[in-house]
Structure 1
Amino acid sequence: MGGMSRIIVVGAGMVGLATAWHLQERGHQVTVLDKEGVAAGASWGNAGWLAPAKTIPLSDPSLWRYGPTALLDADAALSMPLRFDPQLWAFLARFMAQATARAWDATMADLTPIDLEALAAFDELALGGVDAWTRQGPFVIGFEEESQAAGFLREVAGAVRHGQEAPLTPLEDVQSLAPMLSDAITCAYRLDGQRFIEPGPYVAALGRAVAERGAEIRTDAEVVSVHGDAVVLATGERLDCDAAVIATGAWLSALARPHGVRTLVQAGRGYSFTVETAQPAEHPVYLPQHRMACTPYQGRFRIAGTMEFRRPDEPLYPRRIEAIVNQARKVMTGVDLDERRDEWVGSRPVTPDGRPLVGRTRTENVYVAGGHGMWGVVLGPATGKFLAQLIDTGETHPAIRPFDPLR
């Protein structure tokens, strides 16, 4: 853009703050706006996995078997309301059209370049002074019987085929790494080469770093329209700028659609809570059959799960928490599932084709960064780095080229 510019980033989650940090690295003056606060959305309550080997397309051929059944099962990990919602059904039609092996491979090929950059981008933030840790696994992957592992092994093999590294070995003594798993888990694997974080504290630290470098972070700032030279708040206040970035997660479409971004962004809501464990949790645990992703979190154990297709602002539905608890009771021991804390629902921004939306819009100096689905945390820093490069130099890094928001 030539010299210091005033850039407004709308959204204070992982993606928005990482973009702000990298814009600062390039010498720009940044203001971050959010209607609620730092890490107030999907960046807070997720599992915090930095697992590129599992950063894969959400839509795969198994949906044709699992999806219809899930509509009739109150405890299923996939959930959606049976009501008249034309936008939701239009999204689902396109989402299911991607549930083929050929589409999965095409999307995986497009995700792999940024997957390969993901962990290094976290290291760059650490070297730049972001005071928060990332921790190595291993990840424990558990199944009640060996036949259940076929789908997971196929996904990992697909990621490896496209260039990922995913060291995976059978695990004989499951309880040595995951003492909260009961004897119901008879087949397990150890996945190395991945990391995890405590997502809320991490994003808060990133926000502090951005503020300490001179950015203004305004919360309770609801943005109603974005332009190449200004952002307008619900109060009527107009904030002038030289460029603007829309990074509002599941709410991205409302602000981005006037700028030619037509790809649907649907809220894929995830739920989580934390529990005490009889023995300290030290490693992430994944139970693919039950769609549960678990992580040590501030001395407790965070259990996250479900993909609920609803509107992003709908309230938390206790029945979805109960569904996760019902599944956890089948496979966990020494876990106090009746004394839950931090019950949470967050809206993850899912696109029909499984690719994020990162880049220029049709409006000069208006950019978007979102649509990462379940992978906004792991891909956020790399996304911010490459989008900042585009804004600053006009050059599109190959890792984000497939994510053209005008596709």
Structure 2
Amino acid sequence: MGAGIVGLAAAYELQLRGMQVTVIDRAQPGAGASSGNGAQLSYSHVQPLADAGIWRQLPRLLLSPHSAFRLRPQWDWQQWRWGLEFLRACNRRTSERSSQYLLALAALSRQRLEAMLQAERLDCDFSRTGKLVLYDTPAGLAAARRQMQLQQAWGCKQQAVSAERCLEIEPALQHCQRHIEGAIYTPDECAADCLRVCQGLQALLAERGVRFLLGTTVQGFERQGARISAVKTDAGAVPAQQFVLSLGSASHALACTLGLRLPVYPLKGYSITLDTAAAATPRVNVTDAARKVVFARLGRRLRVAGMAELVGHDARISPARIQSLCRATRALFPGCSDFAELRPWSGLRPATPTGLPVVGRRSDAPENLLLNTGHGALGFTLAFGTAAQLAELLAPA
């Protein structure tokens, strides 16, 4: 259930191991949170949003009109419960434990995604040009150094670099050098067009016999004792032996039909995709830590993404947010595009309070239901890692 990058990666791994797979989704492959995401494969930058430093930033994040974070309270107990659990996770111990787990999962995901790309030769503007995370204050850079040193103990290969070194790595940053205190540089970080990966996976899986029920809404389940016997859809019942729930931010509502609570809530993000003027466009992936905006080169396009809004299931595109992304782009890379076509997008990223995805079986769920959701802003980065975990549970090699 689910034809975003998380669901399709699982379908690929399961089909690869000889299982007969059916994929159900109300939309086309990659049409949800996968279609316009930040495009960065952030294998070494996985620190969860829930961090002890949030407490110092909270007043500015909540009150500043220019904040990358926005909270719009809903008459929704799930939002309030998620928020309280998020604040409870904002401590150093939880953040470090989550970071260590996510780094290991990201390493597995890199291995499986790159194996797939090598085997299948998908056209998805994949690149391995590295990543610069820019900081504009000594305090911000110092905190990033501490996180880098922590991650180096877990095998990450990163380095802190000066503003001058940033320009050597990425000459397109020349217009904003005076605003850069320094950066964390990861030489082997990657980027790709997630939507093209989804479309490519759907095409090759269909050729290999995977059944796709697209434009089909999952409505609930038929049960026999402790097991699910079929998925109920608006096109009829779909029987199977095992069921994988990968419906992103819609996973919570469907799980509720089974009496199962998932700690998943939508975290809304935005992006624009610009046609580029090659000489003035970054080749390296760049993250502006102060503005919470990411930049990724996709062939002759530049993907610019950011923001985190806790506003329920409202997927409408805010013109103010799109203009904020344009301002951030002009500040760092003023000559990168004529900005004639922005291709604005918003998506609902399925987030958990701790930042850890929900993967595998649960004792309070039907015994043949596996969960695969809650990847947050790291869906593309972690998709093939959780797919490998599921494949090991369902079809061990």
Q: What is the TM-score with the length of structure 2 in the denominator? A: 0.89
Tell me the residue number matched to 2:247: 248
The structure 1 residue matched to 2:369, chosen from 362, 366, 370, is 366
Tell me the residue number matched to 2:104: 113
CA contact (8 A) 1:174 1:181 kept: no
Note the C-alpha offset of 1:130. Answer: 5.0
Tell me the residue number matched to 1:186: 180
Tell me the residue number matched to 2:354: 353
CA contact (8 A) 1:267 1:349 kept: yes
Change (3 A) 1:62 1:328: farther
Tell me the residue number matched to 1:153: 145
Change (3 A) 1:84 1:259: closer
1:213 aligned onto 2:216: no
Tell me the residue number matched to 2:386: 383
Note the C-alpha offset of 1:260. Answer: 5.5
Q: Deviations over 1:18-53 (max 9, x none)?
A: 111111111111111111110011111111222211
The AA in structure 2 aligned to 1:201 is: R
Q: Deviations over 1:205-238 (max 9, x none)?
A: 1222211211122211110113522111134x11
CA contact (8 A) 1:275 1:340 kept: yes
For structure 2, the residue ranges without an aligned partner over 5 or more in a row are: 223-227
How many matched pairs? 384
The structure 2 residue matched to 1:59, chosen from 43, 50, 54, is 50
Q: Deviations over 1:27-82 (max 9, x none)?
A: 11111111111001111111122221102222111211222222222221111114
Q: Distance in 1 between matches of 2:156 and 2:133?
A: 18
Q: Distance in 2 between matches of 1:339 and 1:71?
A: 32
Q: Distance in 2 between matches of 1:353 and 1:244?
A: 25
1:224 aligned onto 2:223: no
CA contact (8 A) 1:232 1:239 kept: yes
SS of structure 2 residue aligned to 1:314 = coil
Tell me the residue number matched to 1:103: 94
Note the C-alpha offset of 1:88. Answer: 1.2
SS of structure 1 residue aligned to 2:343 = strand
SS of structure 2 residue aligned to 1:40 = coil
Q: What is the TM-score with the length of structure 1 in the denominator? A: 0.87
Bigger shift: 377-386 or 335-344? 335-344
The AA in structure 2 aligned to 1:287 is: D
Residues 3-402 of structure 1 mapped to structure 2, 5 A cutoff: 10-132=1-123, 134-170=126-162, 172-176=164-168, 177-179=170-172, 182-183=175-176, 184-189=178-183, 190-227=185-222, 228-235=228-235, 237-259=236-258, 261-278=260-277, 279-336=280-337, 338-361=339-362, 362-393=365-396
Q: Distance in 2 between matches of 1:331 and 1:131?
A: 31
SS of structure 2 residue aligned to 1:125 = helix
Q: Distance in 1 between matches of 2:221 and 2:46?
A: 30
SS of structure 2 residue aligned to 1:95 = helix
SS of structure 1 residue aligned to 2:64 = coil
Q: Distance in 2 between matches of 1:260 and 1:83?
A: 22
Tell me the residue number matched to 1:3: none
Q: Distance in 2 between matches of 1:292 and 1:337?
A: 19
Identity %: 26
Q: Deviations over 1:261-286 (max 9, x none)?
A: 42321101110002244424322111
CA contact (8 A) 2:350 2:376 kept: yes
SS of structure 1 residue aligned to 2:283 = coil
